[in-house]
Amino acid sequence: MKRYSKQREVVLEILRSTKLHPNATTIYERAREAIPNISLGTVYRNLSELSSAGEILAFKAFDGSEHYDATCNPHPHLCCTACRQIVDLDIPFVEDFAKKSATHTGAEIESHNIVFYGKCSDCCKIKM
């Protein structure tokens, strides 16, 4: 990881302070509250560096946009097709599934990213 920078620290703190899974634009808007002259390019660069260093997770949502998560342990996400919220899923089978997949295929699995698409529990409660 590169040396400390105020911009990187702000971006990381924004992610650590939320359970949401914001995209770069949302992070940029929040970062501007702390550093008014920060650029969107600086936010993207820092997100890329943090992701490459394994300090955050990056994954694609429904529309192909990149979203970010400060929870780095492998875990699946649910992208709600109704409200567009992205939710962490605490499902214990994921690690076992990765191990079994490696054994079954003879592959060496270094990481995984499982994203489910459907309605979140809140949207399932709403009768349309």
Q: What is the pLDDT of residues 20-45, one digit of tens each?
A: 999 999 999 999 999 999 999 999 99
Which DSSP helix (H) or strand (E) runs through 104?
helix 93-105
pTM of the model: 0.82
86 has which bridge partners? 79
- pLDDT above 90 covers a percentage of the chain that reads 59
Q: What is the arithmetic mean of pLDDT over 95-103?
A: 81
- CATH class of residue range 73-128: alpha beta
Residues 6+ apart with CB under 8 A from 45: none
Q: What are phi and psi of 31, to 5 degrees?
A: -65, -30
Domain chopping of the chain, boundaries:
1-72, 73-128
pLDDT number for residue 1:
52
Our separate counts of H helices and E strands in the chain read 5, 5
Question: What is the third-level CATH fold of 1-72?
Answer: Arc Repressor Mutant, subunit A (1.10.10)
- 39-59 pLDDT, tens per residue? 999 999 999 999 999 899 998
Residues 6+ apart with CB under 8 A from 113: 57, 59, 74
